[in-house]
Amino acid sequence: MSAVPLKNDKPVEAGVRTVTVLGATGSIGDSTMDLLRGAPGRYRVEALTANSNVEGLAKLAREFDARFVAIADIARFGELKDALAGSGIECGVGESAIIEAASRPADWLMAAVSGAAGLKPALAAVDRGTTIALANKECLVCAGDFFMQRAAKAGACILPADSEHNALFQALSSGNRDELTRVIITASGGPFRTWAAADIEKATLAQALKHPNWSMGQKITIDSASMMNKGLEVIEAACLFALTPDEIDVLVHPQSIVHGMVEFSDRSVVAQLGTPDMRTPIAHCLGWPERIAGPAAKLDLAKIGQLTFEAPDFARFPALRLAYDALRTGNGATTVYNAANEIAVAAFIAEKIRFGAIARLVEATMNGWVRAGNLAPLASADDALAVDHNARNMAASLLPQIAAKAS
């Protein structure tokens, strides 16, 4: 039994729904809060979390009269308490408080922490058997199949919030799982889609942060530029929908209007389209199994005029090839892929490595991991977190030599 519902088989919930937003101060958090704001009286906020943005978190907590807020950064707890003084809103600090936020009863939870740091809180929500809108792809890539197995066991309902996976989720309801032959996830191609490899190699942070279509957090925007985001999404699709690497294609589509397509055995291809606005897939998850009003701009195809498609270039964007390698290798390789990328992106932001070195560090870490004989099946979240920890250390130790070597 899959934790992603393939048909709208859940009864519609009436009355006020309680919701929790992990990563409330981020880009996905912002879109989610905007949807909640647009439906006064329909939702009650149970818990909100952030890493260090005290001001943003306290403002949201007061606006939505949250019951509980948690901040990960222990140095900011005093400020948070001051900011909430007199409000009656409970607050906590550290990873344990983020996990507590996820554990508190709520009908619906948005998992939008950035990075594998979101894994333990997402698992705490999974174990409650609740409905989870999953934006945090890194937690799936880190945990591998284990996350979805645990969700199925706990009776949790995982609603894919990432735009491409939400598109697949919507398109999949046109057929049965055994009639599906392939899924296609689209990629904008990022800001370097048309750039020569030599220019991509030395792209600056400011250039990498200029996504052509989407306004998103810093880490995912850099991932889009390297196409690591698409690599993470290939692995995310494999985990969410129990697909093999051969059943997942990536198609570059610079307009980001078609988000995902599903091919069925009769060769029908069902696609989901929409303007590039995350409030649409999040609204689909929030309303599910019904449809609620979404605030995104209406799709005007006549105005857009042309939708174009290209094959991905695995040579200029090796991050995508590495994702398929990791998926085929299994045994913790996707955990290593994600962990090394998180180290590489942080190093690029800190100007320790060039843009082109991001994928080289991921590849060197994956190779080093295999050579050291570290591949082994992941049997638990602790296994995944141990691999994540050790792979980060390996990536950090390889960093100086990767930084020193120009392509």
Ligand X SMILES: CC(=O)[C@@H](O)[C@H](O)COP(=O)(O)O
Ligand Y SMILES: NC(=O)C1=CN([C@@H]2O[C@H](COP(=O)(O)OP(=O)(O)OC[C@H]3O[C@@H](n4cnc5c(N)ncnc54)[C@H](OP(=O)(O)O)[C@@H]3O)[C@@H](O)[C@H]2O)C=CC1
Catalog residues that contact ligand X under the rule CB under 6 A. 162-164, 187-188, 190, 214, 224, 229-230, 278
65 is in an annotated binding site: no
29 binds, among Mn ion, ligand Y, ligand X, none (CB under 5 to 8 A by kind): ligand Y
Residue 189 Cβ vs Mn ion, minimum distance, rounded to whole Å? 13
List, as own/partner pairs, every contact residues 282-285 make where C-beta atoms lie below 8 angstroms and the sequence separation is at least 24, other chains included: 282/28, 282/31, 282/32, 282/35, 282/110, 282/133, 282/135, 282/161, 283/35, 284/159, 284/166, 284/169, 284/170, 285/110, 285/133, 285/159, 285/160, 285/161, 285/166
Residue 98 Cβ vs ligand Y, minimum distance, rounded to whole Å? 5
- For ligand X, which is the closer residue by CB, 187 or 285? 187
What six digits make up the tokens of 61? 């907590």
13 is in an annotated binding site: no
Stretch touching ligand Y by CB under 6 A, among 60-68, 178-186, 198-206, 210-218: 210-218
Q: Which residues fall within 8 angstroms of residue 233, CB to CB, at 6 or more apart?
A: 137, 162, 164, 165, 185
Q: How far apart are CA 42 and CA 18, in angstroms?
A: 9
Stretch touching ligand Y by CB under 6 A, among 36-44, 107-115, 151-159, 303-311: 107-115
Locus of tokens 């692995």 = 235
Stretch touching Mn ion by CB under 5 A, among 26-34, 101-109, 161-169, 286-294: 161-169
Closest CA to 211 of 202, 203, 220, 201: 220
Residue 278 Cβ vs ligand X, minimum distance, rounded to whole Å? 5
- For Mn ion, which is the closer residue by CB, 161 or 395? 161
79 is in an annotated binding site: no
Residue 107 Cβ vs ligand X, minimum distance, rounded to whole Å? 24
230 is in an annotated binding site: yes
Does position 216 interact with ligand Y (CB under 6 A)? The reply is: yes
51 binds, among Mn ion, ligand X, ligand Y, none (CB under 5 to 8 A by kind): ligand Y
Does position 213 interact with ligand Y (CB under 6 A)? The reply is: no
Closest CA to 36 of 109, 131, 115, 101: 109
- For ligand X, which is the closer residue by CB, 358 or 385? 358
List, as own/partner pairs, every contact residues 255-259 make where C-beta atoms lie below 8 angstroms and the sequence separation is at least 24, other chains included: 255/188, 255/213, 255/304, 255/306, 255/307, 255/308, 256/186, 256/188, 256/212, 256/213, 256/214, 257/299, 257/301, 257/304, 257/307, 258/167, 258/186, 258/307, 259/163, 259/164, 259/166, 259/167, 259/185, 259/186
136 is in an annotated binding site: yes
Does position 136 interact with ligand Y (CB under 6 A)? The reply is: yes
Residue 188 Cβ vs ligand X, minimum distance, rounded to whole Å? 3
Residue 364 Cβ vs ligand Y, minimum distance, rounded to whole Å? 23
What six digits make up the tokens of 214? 């989407």
Does position 163 interact with Mn ion (CB under 5 A)? The reply is: yes
Residues that bind ligand Y (CB under 6 A): 23-29, 49-53, 72, 98, 112-114, 117, 135-138, 162-163, 214, 216-220, 278
- Which residues make up each annotated binding site for Mn(2+)? 162, 164, 233
